[in-house]
Structure 1
Amino acid sequence: MPAQQQTIAVLGAPGTGAAELAEAINCCLTDSSMTAQAIAVADDAQLPAPIRHTLHSAAITLLMGLDTPCPAPEQARREAFDAQLRTMLANASVRYLVVYGQGPRRTENALKAIISIAPSAIAESAPDLLDQKPMRLRAWDCEKCSDPECEHRLFSALTGRGAESGAGRLTG
């Protein structure tokens, strides 16, 4: 009996590159029972039943971070869509991991997440990601947290937005 196809669900706000990441992941997969699929979600109040079913049955769900370049007027729309998407995922009880990075770095981060659930799914010709030490600001376990407010604080600190408001300054 052939193994059932497992989906790696990839979704995000418009312009965050979900389809491109799904394609890059598929190029690195060696396990023919797994496939990455970009999930298009409309600007609705809740996830449609077929999408909810796909996400619940997925081996892993990856949500695109908002760290890719974007024109300023579009950024507010992306942030609103991302917030709505996270709310829909939470309301549907879908667990997800947020993937950050640009270009190959984002693909590497996604592959690390996939390796955590299916070590044999990634081709050996892909970069040896397990030996790379991730850069960390603090000893928190953010990879498993997915708290949107925590992510926002961390992302703001990384991009320097926190410095403008005086957040995170050390006083002696």
Structure 2
Amino acid sequence: MTSPPSVILLGAPGTGVQALCAALERHPATTSVRLAWGHMLDATADPAAAADAAGTTVLLMGLDQPCPDSDRRAQEAADAELRSALARAGISYRVVYGQGAQRITSALNAIKSIATSAYPSSGSGHFEPDTDPSATRTARLRAWNCEKCSDPECEHRLFTALTGRDSQSG
């Protein structure tokens, strides 16, 4: 029997790491995920060993939360120290950005990416951010010339979007 995926949330003070952990604990898509959070790498139970285990990811909070100017320098220093500690330990991580539901969706996308690789039969669909009704997903089209892109997925999205518009207007 495989153990559930683990997610270690790290962030400088004031980045909302504890709030995101609490929100993920209440989210129905993460009921089978072990969550831990901290402001320093050693604040979680042996994160280096845990991050080496299959199905574990480290999420680092981005510096996009509102922060008083007087605290910004200390927050940036703490973030830089966290990134250095992760690099020294050889731990890969994903950075989570956004406000409110956006941040939860970003975290769920990161969790889904590790869950589907660790648990291919059950991870897909379980961690979809659209299980949260406030999260919406829109198709993004690239802003440059498609002739120079040569990305088949991008071309398919563009074609689908264009044919969708034509069928709706006719």
Q: Percent identity?
A: 35
List gaps (5 residues or longer) in structure 2: 116-123, 145-170
Dislocated runs of 4+, deviation >4 Å: 46-49, 127-131, 134-138
Instruction: With the length of structure 2 as denominator, give the TM-score of the two structures.
Output: 0.64
Instruction: With the length of structure 1 as denominator, give the TM-score of the two structures.
Output: 0.64
2:48 pairs with 1:52 = yes
Larger radius of gyration: 2
1:39 corresponding residue in structure 2: 38
- CA distance in structure 2 between the partners assigned to 1:129 and 1:82 by the alignment: 27
Residues 8 and 62 in structure 1, CA contact (< 8 A), matched pair in contact too: yes
2:6 corresponding residue in structure 1: 7
Q: Residues 58-97 of structure 1: matches in 2 within 5 Å?
A: 59-97=56-94
Residue type matched to 1:69 in 2? P
Residues 99 and 109 in structure 1, CA contact (< 8 A), matched pair in contact too: yes
- CA distance in structure 2 between the partners assigned to 1:25 and 1:47 by the alignment: 19
From 99, 102, 110, give the equivalent of 2:99.
102
List gaps (5 residues or longer) in structure 1: 139-172
- CA distance in structure 1 between the partners assigned to 2:142 and 2:110 by the alignment: 16
The CA RMSD measured in Å over matched residues stands at: 3.1
Aligned residues: 134
Residues 24 and 30 in structure 2, CA contact (< 8 A), matched pair in contact too: no
Please give the per-residue CA displacement for 1:86-113, whole angstroms capped at 9, x wherever unaligned.
Answer: 0000010101010111111111111122
